[in-house]
Each structure stands twice: as structure tokens, then as C-alpha cells.
Structure 1
């Protein structure tokens, strides 16, 4: 099932902004259809529309960022595991070459997109409690969903930009903190954990096949947050590794979640919002279709029903070749990659002479042998998978206890068994930790996770040595002149934001 976010949310946002001041009525008659902040949020349907608008805002990740690019590409281009086959977008190329600054459109779009999520969730959290009459259980759930989405947005922001403005109430031009200063990273993380622990108690179901936030999603995100807090830059250590392990174990031992038996299920419409998929960004072609398909296709090699095949974000050959021998994830059209596909999407099979991302490939939209594609993609975009929960537990338990236990080995080996590669045993703490890191690089690739692992670990996977380099000084395998520096641990604040609000100064180090 899908969370069918219709246009109600957009109508809500426009109504509150455009009609917020009201207007003079003919003969002073009060028009009951005129929406204002005072007359909205009065019936349960308003609360449902408001949270739907918040979910809709999360789709900024797939929005355009200039010619042939969407925002999701930013997190892949800076990892060294992705490249582009189109040279037209200078912002994308600057990310790929680590020469970006605060003028970069993708850097700006991530900032704006995340704060749009926060603005809408702040409205929900402030206004929905006053709606009466309203079912108390559903009201609590909506507030829990809003707190999760706000935490989700701030978790991205604090990892991308460091100290950021912490805004938890709706803003107007007359708000005393309309030009906010930046809040320290530790306080931002406190808000994130406060929101998530409140969402845990909001009465959400453990799973939700409609695509709404579930208790499993809340606990999974909280485990990610604790794992990040244990590492850099907060470096809270063993106590927070223990928190991450405990929270991920709650998800692992709950019913309903598990690894799909086939990698094809990861991009199957019938498996969305269930099983391995704990939280996804929702797409539905009749409302808002998945716009990423063309960007991930080979550059005009005629392998799809789409006419605009862009090759905007594709794997590097070095990373593709770093998978272990026999790893099913690297097998053509069965795992995460494809090196051949059907002419026009449904015709004769042809070799492509390079790897492309199959993990997010919509077979229905692109086509398959004998069946033409629809060019209408309903495929959701992953945010949290059960595979990540397993790897979070394995890493966190090992660090918290000083040695991997049986459950940590089983979590790691579940990933490896599905990939048809040998199980591991008898490793030292350090060797086990690096084995988990390698699985994170290979299992979670192209899901917007790798960059954040690099930053929290201060380590980067080296495809040539199969080991890990220090972040600072690491050279990308296919571009040795592209070298990570200390300044790359954070992105710059968008220049336009600093111009509009001088209170955001100083800019991040090195920009």
C-alpha cells in the first residue's frame, strides 16, 4: 500500500500563506470558506491534511537541481563511489571534484528542503493538540509522526552543516527569532533524541504498510542517531554504542521485519513499506511520481521506455569491482547492479560495458523483456532498511562490549548469507568492526548513507586495499587528484542564507 498524499497538503500551505491576513467581506458577511490560521486546524481532517503536507515535503530529495540532476545525487558524488556520465551540470561536477562552495545549488536545496519539512512539522506539533473533538489516539499518532519527521530533518541538517538554527515553533516575519543564530551540535542532537523518544510513546503501530511512520521506524532512526553520536564529532563512545545496540535489537526482535529473500524485492512495488523496508519516501505516479529513474539510467544507451536517459549518477567501476568474488549483489540484474539490459527496455539484450544501479530500478516504468515500460514510476525511495538495523547492531554491540557476541555475528552473517559469500567467525574486535564497515559500504551503497559513515568514522573504504584510509588525505580511486580535506567533514552553509541572515555567520571552516 501507499500513503496517498494528495494535494490537500499543498492547498493547506497555500491557504495559510495567501489567506492568512483575511479580507474585507461584502456587507461584512463572514465567509466560512475563508481559511486563516485561526479558522484552520479546527477539525480532524485538518490535522490529517497537515501531516500529509509534512510527508510531501520529504520528496525534496528527488526534486531537480538544475539540468540532469536531482538533490539525492549530492550525497553520492562526494563518496568516491559514484560518477556522472553527463557534464552539463557544473554544480554536480563541483561536488564530484570536491570543489563546491556555498553557491552550489544542491547544497542550497538540501538546506531549504529540510527546513521546509521542519516548518510544516512545527505547525502540526503546535496546532493539532487544540483540535477538538478529535480521536485522542489518532491525535497522538499524528504528533508522533510529526516529531519523527522533524527529527529526521534535523538529523540530516546537523550531519551536513554542523551547528544549525534550531527552530521548533512556527515562524512569521514578526517572530523574535525570525533571523536565528546557529545552535550547537549537541543541543540539536538533544532535540532529535527528545523528538524520537516522544514519538516512541505516541501509540504508533510497529509497522505501517501505508507508508506512514511506524514505531519500528522511530526506533530504527533512534539507533542510527545513537550510533552517530557515539562517533564523530560528539565522540560519546561506549555508552552511546550501547544505546544504539539496545535500540536496534528492539527492532530485530520485533515481529514483521526481516531481510527479503531476493534483492529484486528491494525495488518491487508489491513489497513497499513492508518486510525490509522500514521507512521510505512515498511516490505515486498519479500524485507525484518517482523522478529519479531517468537520472540513474545509462547516458542515452536506449535501455528504457524513457526517452531522456541521463546517466547523472552511476557507480564507479572500482567500487563495483570491490565486491567479493561470487557476491550476488554484484551479479548482473540480480543484485544491486546491471551491466546489460534490453534494447528500448523490452527488446534484445545488450551489453553496456559499465555497471549501473539496479537497486532502485523500476522494472515496470523502464520495461523488461517483452513488456514495454510505462514511464510512470510509483517506486518509493528507501530511507531505513532492516539490513541497516542489523549492521548498526553488529557495529554498536562490538564497540560497546569490546568483542562481538553471537547475535552480532548472526546480524552480520545474515547480510553475507543473502549475498552468497562466506560467513565470518573468530575475528578480533578490530577485524570484526572493519568487516561490518565493509558490509555497510557494499550493502547500503547509493542510499545516501555512505557519506555519513565516512564523517562519523573519519574513515573511507579503499577499494584497492580492501581496508580503510583516514578521511583526511583519502584520494578517490578513479580520480587520484581528488583528495578529501578536513573542510569536507561539513558542507558549507548556502551563501544566499548567510546573505539573508547575517546571524548565521561564520561560514563553516574552509569555505
Structure 2
């Protein structure tokens, strides 16, 4: 592999906000666009930085390529959404939603691109880690701990997604091309926790100050690694029912308490201002201020880690846009400020009903087509007849945007392709999550943290709703609060699983909910036995099993 060309994939400049401001320099921009071999590269700190950008880009490829993506997979499997899409489309998403390949028997490689892109990302990280000692790090003001901490956290992020999706997987900690069998998940978690601890210990607290988010947003910080450590700890202990090797509950709590004590982060004052579509106004092409509305902006005080995208993706090899976002748009229906898409993730009405009166998260998170007047639009009927598993509700948090005339707002001048140019940040970790994790882990301040999140949910224009009532920060109340707070953020499915397979199966099962496909009554049924048999794990691509000559083994139930 030493003769392999190492091509740093250069990401285009990031447009801040909603694609409604001009592009500025970002940390994903590097000067050189030439290819370097591993034999001539990895000499200087600048080389290490270029390789690190390749690692970030490898992580982004897991969401920017046209594939299922971790985000969509997690939401399809959740209890918040049905698979949706077009009435005449294939039923691959239904197979994921029902944990049942009989929904689409020919789809033997549901996550093929995801599998390839995740391991490609891991390879990039392993390549840089393996070259650490040959790099001439500066003795003064060395970036060694920062760069290598970021790289190791990216590897941890990639493995954390994979081990949750597929369970036992092949583990690589060096850049080799081998046919390896799966290892027990605890071995993967040992690497995840070791990488995160390295990052926590080696990335300086002031490496990427929040005050400088306009230039450093998207970089992994010590605090991002701490929050991820707690998230991985809670998932492992819940799903596997035991303590992991390499981290204790006390360490997980200390990690999130450190994030809180840093004072680097705070909740955005009003929940809707976290999300572009919830904040946007109906605007004419080019009217970026009206479109932006009250959005708190990328890198706001609540964002601890976000995956960054650009609007420069095209069909000629540039692959840096948010490709899953178009799936969430209402089926071929522009309803400004919400842009059209392919109608995936129709929202379960039973989930909508869980929001109490006065909880502003409902309208900030969910598009209610009837209440917002969308059902009266002239194009609505055609959309409705083409939609599968229609419920009258759609995801608002990650809805694409359009201008008043239906032109995609992915670029300020309206020239963006509605399929490829969306580039809303995927906010991976928010400060609200840190507060609720600290409460769950037994912080002495658990009640105060819990109240802070709930009070924000019931606050509009600085006024706390009369419907707000204080709840005790019990485990059950914390889990329900997470369900409402993090709806459609690819978190709640994993929160279900970490309560135990039987609990998850009972909550994910659907006895028969009426939806409408092609304008006709349809029924969604999900059997608890399917979740129990698969253990909530996903299909490993069969072509990868074939390529491994049977070394890889399929997960049960697939």
C-alpha cells in the first residue's frame, strides 16, 4: 500500500448560514491540489494538516454521497417517522423501516455505499496516524496533539456509527488492505474510547475557541470529544448491559461536566432559531435576510460539533453537499420557505401528539401541512397522489429551503440544484444533549440541567408558557425529554436501543397505523419480533460478504 497515491480531496469553500451569504475561507480549504504519494508526503506539519482535511472529508463522504446515510437510516428505523418516498419507488426504505427484507427481496446491498465510504474514511485516518512519527513536528507551538486528536476523534466517530449500525465489524487500526473477519463489538469500542481519551488529553481547550466559530466551525474540539465519550458510554452500557473497557461512568460524567464548566456553550434562547426552516421567512430570490429570518446561524452557541457541507456539489465529481437533505423535502412540492424533495420520513401522527400544549418544539420540528396552509396549494394534490405513507406531517428541522417562486434557496442567487446543492449543517452534538446526558449520568445538578432544557422548550419571545410545569429529573422523564428535544436528529433510535432490545421492540412495534399511499389508505405494521430477531442491527451488504469469500457473516434476520 505504500505505493498507493494519496490524493487529498479538496473541499470547496463553505457557504455560511443557508447558502445565503457569500463563500468565505474555511478550514477545509488548502492551497495545494496536487497528488502526493505516501513516499513523498507526511514530512511537515502542513502535510499533516492537509492529510487531516482528507480525514474530515472522508467523514463527510459518509453523508454527502448518494446513499442511505447514517442520518436517514437512523430516522427511518426510529419511531418518529415512516420511510415514505414516492408511491412508485422501490421499497428499500420500507425494508429498513420494518427490519424486514421481504419488503424488497432484491435489495441485498442496502448499505453498500455506506460500508465502502465508512471504511475509506477509516483508512484515511489510519494512514495519518501511522505516519505521525515521521512528521517533523515543531518543538514550539506544535500542532501535533491537536491534529492527531482531531484525526483520532474522526476515526472514533466513524467506528461509532458502524458498530451501532452493523454490530460486529472488521476492525482496522492501520492502513492495510486485508480480508478480516468481524470482531466483537467490545474491541471496536475499546478503540473508540482510547481515541476519544487521546483527543481529550491532547487537544488544547483553547485550540478552537467558540468566539472564533466564524473561522473554525466544524473543527473537532476537546469538548466535542468529551461529549462523544459520554454518548458512546451511555449507548454501550445500555445496549450491551455491561460496563465497557476503558471508561467508567465517573469519567463519562466528568467529561460532560467539563463541557458545561467551560462556559464555551449555551442554549440558543428560542428553540426554533436552531433550525433554518423553522426560522426562515418567505423571500424573493436574493433576499437573504428575509430567508434567514431568526436563524441563530451555523456555529451558534449551542453547536458542539457539526458536519459541514458546501453548495458546490455537482454531477462531475465534486461531492461535498448534503445529499440526504433532499430526501426530506415534501414530495415534489415547493411550499415556501420549504423546498421540494422526495418525500422520505413522513412523521408519525402518534409522535406528534406526544408534544404537550405550549411546547414550542412541535412547530419548530414538524411541518403540519394542513395547519400551515400547504394542503390548499395548487400543487398539493399531485404531491399527495405521488406520496407514499402520507400522514400530513413532514420533518421541518432539516427541510430544504426555497424562495417564494419555488426556486431552490441552496444558493443565494437561486442557481443551486435542489438535489445536490443543499448544505445545511448536520448538527451532531448540541449543548442540550450535554445537559441531559449529565443529568442522566447522575450529576448533582441534574434537576437544574433538566429544567434548563425544558424551560427553553416552553419559551417564546422570552416568555415562559403558562403550560410549563416542572417535572422531576427521573430516568423516564429524561428519556422522554430527549425524545422530544432531539426529534429527527438521528439520536432517538439509538436511545430506544440502549433501553434494551425488548423495550425497544415494544416501543418501535406498530400494530397497524393508517397512512395514505398514492392517495389511498395504506397500513404500516412493524413487528416487535423483527426488532428482537435483528437486535436492531442493519443488513451487511451481501456483495461485501461475497467479496470476503464468506469471511464476513450476515446479521441475524437479514
TM-score interval, normalised by the smaller of the two chains: 0.7 to 0.9
Task: Normalising by structure 2, report the TM-score.
Answer: 0.73
Give the distance between the partners of 1:304 and 1:155, measured in 2 at CA.
37
Kept in 1, the 8 Å contact 2:447–2:472? The answer is: no
Match status 1:224 vs 2:269: no
What is the Cα deviation at residue 437 of structure 1?
A: 0.7
Give 1:274's aligned residue: 300
Could you list the per-position Cα deviations for residues 173-230 of structure 1 after superposition, in whole angstroms to 9, with x for gaps in the alignment? Answer: xxxxx11122222121111111111111223436452211111101110111121232
Q: Which has the higher contact order (CA 8 A, sep 6+)?
A: 2
Give 1:265's aligned residue: 273
Give the distance between the partners of 2:265 and 2:547, measured in 1 at CA.
45
Deviates more, 1:145-154 or 1:320-329: 320-329
What is the Cα deviation at residue 369 of structure 1?
A: 9.8
Kept in 2, the 8 Å contact 1:8–1:49? The answer is: no
Report the aligned-residue RMSD: 3.4
Give 2:350's aligned residue: 318
Task: Normalising by structure 1, report the TM-score.
Answer: 0.79
Give 1:124's aligned residue: 128
Match status 1:142 vs 2:147: yes
Kept in 2, the 8 Å contact 1:472–1:486? The answer is: no
- Alpha carbons of structure 1 residues 474 and 452: separation in structure 2 relative to 1, 3 Å: closer
What is the Cα deviation at residue 158 of structure 1?
A: 1.6
Give 1:159's aligned residue: 164
Could you list the per-position Cα deviations for residues 390-418 of structure 1 after superposition, in whole angstroms to 9, with x for gaps in the alignment? Answer: 111111217xxxxxx4x111111112111
Could you list the per-position Cα deviations for residues 133-168 of structure 1 after superposition, in whole angstroms to 9, with x for gaps in the alignment? Answer: 646522321111000000111111222222212211
Give the distance between the partners of 1:309 and 1:474, measured in 2 at CA.
26
- Alpha carbons of structure 1 residues 8 and 153: separation in structure 2 relative to 1, 3 Å: farther
Give 1:253's aligned residue: 261
What is the Cα deviation at residue 254 of structure 1?
A: 1.3
Give 2:387's aligned residue: none
What is the Cα deviation at residue 293 of structure 1?
A: 3.6
Kept in 2, the 8 Å contact 1:267–1:379? The answer is: no
Helix, strand or coil at the partner of 2:392: strand
Give 1:393's aligned residue: 438
- Alpha carbons of structure 1 residues 155 and 410: separation in structure 2 relative to 1, 3 Å: same
2:366 to 326, 330, 337: 337
Deviates more, 1:102-111 or 1:189-198: 102-111
Give the distance between the partners of 1:111 and 1:371, measured in 2 at CA.
34
Helix, strand or coil at the partner of 1:383: strand
Match status 1:52 vs 2:94: no
Match status 1:413 vs 2:447: no
- Alpha carbons of structure 1 residues 250 and 473: separation in structure 2 relative to 1, 3 Å: closer
Question: Size of the alignment, in residue pairs?
Answer: 456
Give the distance between the partners of 2:504 and 2:380, measured in 1 at CA.
42
Gaps of 5+ in 2: 1-15, 17-24, 277-294, 314-319, 385-390, 459-466, 514-523
- Alpha carbons of structure 1 residues 110 and 235: separation in structure 2 relative to 1, 3 Å: farther
Kept in 1, the 8 Å contact 2:168–2:185? The answer is: yes
Give the distance between the partners of 2:258 and 2:78, measured in 1 at CA.
31
Give the distance between the partners of 1:328 and 1:369, measured in 2 at CA.
28
What is the Cα deviation at residue 132 of structure 1?
A: 2.1
Give 1:309's aligned residue: 341
Deviates more, 1:445-454 or 1:477-486: 477-486
Helix, strand or coil at the partner of 1:171: coil
Match status 1:422 vs 2:468: yes
Give the distance between the partners of 1:500 and 1:274, measured in 2 at CA.
45
Give the distance between the partners of 1:414 and 1:39, measured in 2 at CA.
53
Kept in 1, the 8 Å contact 2:303–2:429? The answer is: yes
Match status 1:5 vs 2:51: no
